[in-house]
Amino acid sequence: MKFTYSNPTVIHFGQGMISAIAKAIDPAKKVLVIYGGGSIKSNGVYDQVAAALSGHKWMEFSGVEPNPTVETLDQAVALIRKEGLDYILAVGGGSVIDGSKYVAAAACYEGDGWDILLGKHRVKQALPLGAVLTLPATGSESNGGAVITRKSTREKLFFSSNAVFPRFAVLDPDVIKSLPERQVANGLVDAFVHVCEQYLTYPVQGWVQDGFAETLLRNLVNLALQFKQRDNDVWRANFMWTANQALNGLIGAGVPQDWATHMIGHEITAAYGIDHARTLAIVLPSLLRNQLENKKVKLAQMGRAVFDLAPDVGLAQRTVDAIENLFRSLGVPVRLSEAGVSGPEAPELIAAGIEKHGMAKLGEKSAITPAVVRDIVAAAA
């Protein structure tokens, strides 16, 4: 086991903690508050942010979409340059925070921002960034990764850099109160799949990583079981902290990781506009069945530790069924057809996208070629 790990983001967790941003941002900084639609104006978050920033000079940029696009984000970059702003406060879910990471990096780069996604420009410098999380799901509030879409070419790509780790993140569980059910369900699925990407590979005797991952998975199963009774502080706090820990680098340090489900899911979102989490719920069970032989030991371990399944014949397969049933129980589609995509072209289209974006061998054993992607997508029809 060998790794280098750190996570410098300061977490301010708890009810009322949005006020902490007053002290978290140097008062000399000129802040750009970036957000999405208007939901933060109706749920009180905008007002709390504005109150906390009353001692700062600040401007705002709204309209960042789910699956944030460079077309939109480059307007924020232009605003930063025009106004001489030097700190970004992302107020939103994963899309807004991911988008703000792109803005923070692109503002310090002279060339075309899309170079960052293509890997032509490696990000070493970015504007400092803070985050107020409004939707637990992606873990973006305390990691260095971001997924950005180019609308004009229907591409959805990933970049990461230590330079775009948020300096701080506010996690106030009360923000969940006003979320639509669909977004909460999506967030649970997203966090669950994040853990699976770092856990459902092959065993390497990482006892801390496995035990922490199983804790998070069990938490998410319990949260799903209580989904209908979720209107309480305990549910909200445990969802928010679990989703954060699912993708802050800790459980993945020193162990093999997969991420093929995400890469395939990104292509599906880019092609068909399906919600990110829903693409994961569609791909993961199909991928696990396709890769059962490579993953059966960890699947069996998960079945016992997370779903309390009996250690009988077919345990790995039954674990996949349990995962699929978990997603179904949240009302999330687990087939392309259930998400409104029909017709025979999807497998070829998605496999071609994977190939075009240079992902010839995905998965922890590099076993998932574009041909395998085609099979996985076909089986998820």
Residues of the shown chain interacting with a copy of itself in the complex, contacts defined by CB under 8 A: 1-15, 17, 20, 173, 205-208, 211-212, 214-216, 218-219, 222, 234, 237-238, 241-242, 245, 250, 253-254
The two beta strands, 129-133 and 168-171, are parallel
- Taking the complex as a whole, the smallest distance from the CB of residue 106 to a copy of itself amounts, in Å, to 26
Nearer to a copy of itself, 12 or 262 (CB): 12
- Taking the complex as a whole, the smallest distance from the CB of residue 112 to a copy of itself amounts, in Å, to 31
- Taking the complex as a whole, the smallest distance from the CB of residue 184 to a copy of itself amounts, in Å, to 17
Question: CA 282, CA 379: separation in Å to the nearest integer?
Answer: 10
- Taking the complex as a whole, the smallest distance from the CB of residue 353 to a copy of itself amounts, in Å, to 36
- Taking the complex as a whole, the smallest distance from the CB of residue 173 to a copy of itself amounts, in Å, to 8
Question: CA 284, CA 376: separation in Å to the nearest integer?
Answer: 9
Burial zone of 234 (CB within 10 Å; 0-12 exposed, 13-18 middle, 19+ buried) = exposed
> Residue 333 has which token pair?
């589609």
- Taking the complex as a whole, the smallest distance from the CB of residue 222 to a copy of itself amounts, in Å, to 7
Nearer to a copy of itself, 7 or 43 (CB): 7
- What is the H or E stretch that residue 171 is in? strand 168-171
Nearer to a copy of itself, 17 or 184 (CB): 17
Nearer to a copy of itself, 207 or 312 (CB): 207
Burial zone of 335 (CB within 10 Å; 0-12 exposed, 13-18 middle, 19+ buried) = middle
- Taking the complex as a whole, the smallest distance from the CB of residue 25 to a copy of itself amounts, in Å, to 15
Nearer to a copy of itself, 142 or 286 (CB): 142
The two beta strands, 145-150 and 129-133, are unpaired
Which residue do the tokens 């060339």 mark? Answer: 111
Burial zone of 57 (CB within 10 Å; 0-12 exposed, 13-18 middle, 19+ buried) = middle
Nearer to a copy of itself, 77 or 240 (CB): 240
Nearer to a copy of itself, 62 or 219 (CB): 219
The radius of gyration of the chain's CA atoms, rounded to the nearest angstrom, is 20
Q: Which long-range contacts (CB under 8 A, 24 or more apart) does 355-360 make?
A: 357/155, 357/157, 357/263, 357/267, 359/263
> Residue 229 has which token pair?
């009774």
